[in-house]
Every structure is written in structure tokens, then in C-alpha cells.
Amino acid sequence: MSDLIIWTWDWVPNGPRGHVRDIRLRWALEEAGLPYGVRTVPIADRGAELVARQPFAQVPFLEDGDIRLFESGACLLHLAEKSETLMPSDPQGRADTLQWVIAALNSVEMVTVPWWFIGLQKPPENPMAGWLGQRLQRLEDVLSGRDWLAAGRFTVADILMADILRVSTLRRQLDPYPALGAYLDRVLDRPAFAKSLQDQLDHFAAADAARAAT
């Protein structure tokens, strides 16, 4: 049995399938070629047991032998230490990867998720729209000059940034940013993404089948 265990929900409705954040960890581990298992917590019971593992009552969280940690971004940085595929080991390559992981979480996703969340309520104007446009333009400028975010090569930062940008409502905003759109296509074209996406869809399809059988 593998020492690496990704914890995720036992079941979710169709909407979030393919977007539950365990996919970030699956994808990273597929890229790294490291074996891992997947275990589940019941989404119907976000109680004390879950909160003891994840204080915001979310998934994923990760077990690595005796080590436990939550937050997909933290799990990605933890896994990146295990594989040169995810993060170069030289000091500037590490710093470059780290800064782009944090930029994805705190400069980009800090804008895209609230923009998406507020947009669900269909306001006449989304107060996050201007800020979103500024961030996408900054990324467009960066990616007009290179293929990958960090260290001149694919890293775990690309997994994270692509998973943030591929949300369908957001992806439909990318026409004015052709370099960013091409970057997203480039990252999502990786076989490890296709495998992790299919694995997540299969995981929840199996949960449907198990429910139907009871």
C-alpha cells in the first residue's frame, strides 16, 4: 500500500465533478509518477471528525506516512519536494516555483474565486470584474514571453494556475488574452491532467453506482 493518501469526498453532485480540488493532488502525483491511494470522508457529515482533519470542513487533505496536512496549495508544495518533475531542486528554481504557487493562490485565485462566487448571484455588475481583468492582463504579459510560469519549464505552479483558470465561467473570459489561453491549453494538454480528471470522474461515478445498488 502506498504511503501517500489523498482524502476527498465520498460523493458530490454533478456540478463540481471534475473540479473537486483533490484533482490538484492527483495531477501532481501522476506527473511525479508516485503511487498513491484515495480515501473518502462523507460529504453529508461535515462534523467534528472532518473538522479535526480540515478545520474549514473542506477537502482535500493528504497523508504522507505519519504526516498529515490540508490545503491543496500546501499539499502541492509538500509533494513538490519529492519530485524534480514538480519543482527543480536548485535554490532559484525552488524560489521561482514557490513564488508562482503563491501568486496563483494569493494574487490570482484570490480574485477569480470571489469573482466566480459573486457572479453566481447574477448581479448587474460584478464588483470583482475590473480587478479580474487587471490580473488576467498581468498574466497575459508574463505568458507572452514564455511557455511556463516558473524556472523556464513545467512545474507544480502550472498545475495550480491551470486548475484555477480552467473553471468554465472564467475560461470563457480568456478571449482577450491569447497567450494566457494558449498557456492554459498547453498545460491542460498534459496526459497527467487527462488521467487525473478521468480518475476523479470515475471515482464519483462509482459512488453513484454504489448508491444505486443499495
Question: Which residue ranges make up the site for a second copy (CB under 8 A)?
Answer: 51, 55-58, 64, 66-71, 73-74, 77-78, 91-92, 95-96, 98-99, 101-103, 105-107, 109-111, 113-114, 117-118, 121, 123, 127-128, 131, 135, 138, 141-142
- Cα–Cα distance measured from residue 102 to residue 161, given in angstroms and rounded to the nearest whole number: 10
Identify which of residues 142 and 192 has a Cβ nearer to a second copy in the complex.
142
Identify which of residues 28 and 111 has a Cβ nearer to a second copy in the complex.
111
Identify which of residues 21 and 166 has a Cβ nearer to a second copy in the complex.
21
Identify which of residues 142 and 188 has a Cβ nearer to a second copy in the complex.
142
Q: CB 207 → a second copy: shortest distance, Å?
A: 26
DSSP 24: H
Q: CB 194 → a second copy: shortest distance, Å?
A: 26
Q: CB 72 → a second copy: shortest distance, Å?
A: 8
Identify which of residues 182 and 207 has a Cβ nearer to a second copy in the complex.
182
Strand order in the sheet with 4-9: 37-41, 4-9, 61-64, 67-70
DSSP letter string over 49-113?
HHHHH-TTS-S-EEEETTEEEE-HHHHHHHHHTT-TTTS-SSHHHHHHHHHHHHHIIIIIHHHHH
- Cα–Cα distance measured from residue 120 to residue 114, given in angstroms and rounded to the nearest whole number: 10
Handedness of CA 214, 197, 180, 98 (dihedral sign): positive
Q: CB 92 → a second copy: shortest distance, Å?
A: 5
